[in-house]
Chains A and B, each alone.
Chain A
């Protein structure tokens, strides 16, 4: 999760004296924790401003100024201006609550939680201030990104802090809702620089040109495809447009370009501290996402820029005409009795209603404890009544809920395979072996080559491995044991180790396409170990599990022919049990300078599980069905 720094002074200003602005930073941190924010603490950030484009960078004490400005690509190390440091509350972004990404949004939530200002905030919308016409070509898969929603904000007064908040909000919403601009991207422009008649069109990237944000006064305009190749933001997001023949473009009636969504705005419409009117657009694939995102941006900006007013924009597309933003609340119902019951707290309908109002919902009490809730238009996370019940729980305070136990009696029952595994562990400990746990992800090189095996065609393989060392799942426990012995090659002898664990084998008959087998393996390294010692271990294991096995000589690597034995298995070519002396060639490859013996045995077989029972890999069968406790 990205971490944000909320400027403490600004948050206090927004909360106001009566709204908790006067409380200590520690108390604010504690209350944010009660609201579900993952707060790291407070810290001081260093700030610099790019001399070329004015973008502000914030850094912790240990971070350095980035070499280049991300917004305009200018040299930043030399070309910046230092600003006063800023005390911030550092917290992880709460991805599901994008309305809490900025000081204004947080203040809105805190004022409600503290009971200073409850119920749904009202954001009056002015008459349409602009019109946007959407080119039907944008629905064509060849051009894409058909949805747009816009708003105008007037009477804004932007200081450096507010500009920074605006940029951060945009960036964080791109991450959380936009999924890195794919589903939604936001543009903010100086509305006084454009005509209020705006077109959202699809343009030919080879023909059309404009001057992207960060262009110097002397820079010529660039073709759209050039921007993707040379501008830092163009290169970063080129993958979102590269497959399309035409690129989305927003321009006014006079031909002034606002932006090429979702990549970059134009230099002409750049927002500066002198900007008094903002034009905001959100573009994307789905109307609901685009409109919700717009609601969040606009209401948060209104919270941050006190005194500003929002006006609607008329959007015309193939579906018809509508005004955006639309702050009509989402209507939902909560049963207050159900809420108290599921939370396990004493709570009257009036108290539940009060809790919801403190979470900034409007509530009307109906009969029988039913509450009619109007959810603010900036909330993106209310899918079901249960989401509002969680809001009630948070307003009530998790720390006030008294932990209790379920009153129903049930009888616990262990899984037979786990019980067998525990017996096997006790047995091997009794024989003096130390238990190890090795990595289940491995590579063909580590798993097979050193042992002299051909990689098993039945191995489970990863499509997107993170390293060359881990590309597949193990099919035996022996490679892990040998790797552990190599790791301990210089440690005192004798070494006696074992592991109980799962291996996976592809099996088209299994429900998930792979069968998981529980195995036991052990090994001894000692100057005087040999076949007799490991055979004695094998016999002890068989005896204690009351199992008999018909042994035949084994010719399996990594063991030495004539000095190894196996109990042939029923399945394919895997023996149920095999053990013996490790071939000196393998010892050499593992850097072991003393003799070693190994054993591997199938635990299902050992415990007498019928073949084709759980071992057929049927996952449903492996999930224990009804356990104890079903006494009628």
Chain B
């Protein structure tokens, strides 16, 4: 036999004997069970299809404090009329408050009703009565006084109409007088057994104890077979749980790492404190290049400098390449190269310093290297500039590498990052040739965004390091990817973190 909680059991039993539908309130009264419990029980039974609920819209009228006062002391317009009839002569507006016992404001707002009901009219600065004696109660007064008799000062429109109160007329007169009466839209719910419910009852039902929680005791005693578990409201609000989460920028970094690892790249790292030699000179960046100036690069006072590589041959090859091209077939920059400038300590301005070190450490193909790291530019902080940001650099050392392969690798990477359209535009960098700038199309912004530079390392870079193969190279910014993904307009939000933002940003985006 099917088990039901006490309330549901008595509801079903009560309905079994009724052909007609019955209101929840009436049912509650009949059962002697609290109306809220009956309503909840009926609702759950209806969800199971055991009974049918029909809803009727109802208008409930509730007397407010102003209405109660009007019933005991009379509506303001009636009190004003009484004062006029008492005086037997028109009264000025100044006289009325005292005579009627109303406030000036109440007198003022009663004028509209006096004129509308035809009880009095304005004559110059005075008000004069238009009726010889106080008229019988009007529809609004009847409505209010009937309500005052009801419990809680409230009743449904239908009930009042049945009781012979001129409800429609009364409401019309009371329109806009919210201080007297409140109207509330309500529903009256009528229930009756469904066919399914009737069939179930025919098979027989029994009453069982209802419990809220599965407990070890209930499980141990096997009691769960007997009891009924309370059903939850699935819309119930619950306390938020926030998981530990990686920082959005780190998620972009992690995705970038994974992309290059998946493509067969080996990861390299190197320190942020770097020599100008590895940051600039090994990359054939001329010593008077604007990017090397104090204005753009952070130079260090501690450490005051960085020793040049111990490999004198390497330093000499770099020097000659700068001055006249050395063995590289280039004419070089045609100006003297200073070892002292190369020994300056800087905060690296790009992670190409890392990949070129990796190239120097082992220039033999085939190799694919990538490095993700912080880089430093001497920029004042604003919404789109930070002096520290992240780059991913990569190189491919391969005898057969081509410029088309470079474009293909960049396209594969950005596809892995979720972008579908790319554009490659010619660009100019001191250490790559041919050079290219990568743009990605962001459909949400309907615009192209520049992501970074790439190219084939110049022979002036590779040959002094002992590399005879083509080296494809790129350096791409990562903050812009994060800003696009998380729809940030201000780059500072990444590093001056609002913890609430961290909690809100979905992990999977």
Interface residues of A (CB under 8 A from B): 33-36, 94-97, 179, 183, 286, 288, 341-345, 381, 383-387, 389-390, 393-394, 398-399, 401-415, 417-418, 422, 425, 428-441, 459-467, 470, 473, 484, 487-488, 491-492, 495-497, 502, 504, 506, 510-516, 617, 619-620, 622-630
9 contacts between A and B (CB under 8 A): A344-B404, A383-B332, A401-B407, A410-B264, A430-B244, A463-B299, A473-B273, A488-B499, A623-B354
> Is the Cβ of B368 less than 8 Å from the Cβ of A412?
yes
> Is the Cβ of A34 less than 8 Å from the Cβ of B266?
no
Nearest 9 CB-CB pairs, A to B? A627-B266, A344-B402, A344-B404, A513-B303, A36-B426, A429-B244, A403-B408, A390-B434, A403-B407
Tell me the bound Cα distance from A497 to B247 in angstroms: 10
Closest Cβ of chain A: how far from B411's Cβ, in Å? 5
Please choose the segment from B116-124, B230-238, B452-460 that sits at the chain A interface, where 4 or more of its residues have CB less than 8 A away: B452-460
> Is the Cβ of B362 less than 8 Å from the Cβ of A626?
yes
> Is the Cβ of A514 less than 8 Å from the Cβ of B303?
yes
Closest Cβ of chain B: how far from A239's Cβ, in Å? 14
Closest Cβ of chain A: how far from B450's Cβ, in Å? 9
> Is the Cβ of B498 less than 8 Å from the Cβ of A437?
no
Tell me the bound Cα distance from A619 to B348 in angstroms: 13
**Contact pattern, B 361-399, Cβ under 8 Å of A = 1, otherwise 0:** 110011111000010101111000011100000001010
Closest Cβ of chain B: how far from A389's Cβ, in Å? 7
B274, B329, B386, B498: the one contacting A512 at CB < 8 Å is B274
- Count of A-B contacts judged by CB separation below 8 Å: 308
Tell me the bound Cα distance from A398 to B361 in angstroms: 32
Chain A residue nearest to B261 in the complex (CB): A412
Interface residues of B (CB under 8 A from A): 242-247, 249-250, 254, 257, 260-275, 288, 290, 294, 298-307, 325, 328-335, 345, 347, 354, 357-358, 361-362, 365-369, 374, 376, 378-381, 386-388, 396, 398, 400-405, 407-412, 423-428, 433-436, 456, 458-460, 470, 472, 494-500, 502-503
Chain A residue nearest to B500 in the complex (CB): A491
Tell me the bound Cα distance from A406 to B399 in angstroms: 10
Chain B residue nearest to A381 in the complex (CB): B428
Contacts of A96 in B (CB 8 A): 428
Chain B residue nearest to A429 in the complex (CB): B244
Tell me the bound Cα distance from A467 to B398 in angstroms: 44
Which of B263, B264, B369 is most buried by chain A, counting CB atoms within 10 A of its CB?
A: B264
> Is the Cβ of B497 less than 8 Å from the Cβ of A484?
yes
Chain B contact surface mostly: mixed
Chain B residue nearest to A422 in the complex (CB): B254
Tell me the bound Cα distance from A275 to B408 in angstroms: 55
Chain B residue nearest to A470 in the complex (CB): B387
Tell me the bound Cα distance from A510 to B306 in angstroms: 10
> Is the Cβ of B407 less than 8 Å from the Cβ of A413?
no
Contacts of B428 in A (CB 8 A): 36, 94-97, 381
> Is the Cβ of B273 less than 8 Å from the Cβ of A504?
yes
> Is the Cβ of A619 less than 8 Å from the Cβ of B407?
no
> Is the Cβ of B332 less than 8 Å from the Cβ of A406?
no
Chain B residue nearest to A387 in the complex (CB): B433
Contacts of B401 in A (CB 8 A): 406
Tell me the bound Cα distance from A461 to B300 in angstroms: 6
Given contacts A288-B334, A412-B261, A433-B244, contact A401 B403 (CB under 8 A): yes
> Is the Cβ of B456 less than 8 Å from the Cβ of A342?
yes
> Is the Cβ of A512 less than 8 Å from the Cβ of B306?
yes
> Is the Cβ of A462 less than 8 Å from the Cβ of B270?
no
Contacts of A288 in B (CB 8 A): 334
Given contacts A389-B434, A512-B271, contact A461 B302 (CB under 8 A): yes
> Is the Cβ of A398 less than 8 Å from the Cβ of B425?
yes
Chain B residue nearest to A525 in the complex (CB): B499
> Is the Cβ of A460 less than 8 Å from the Cβ of B246?
no
> Is the Cβ of A415 less than 8 Å from the Cβ of B335?
no
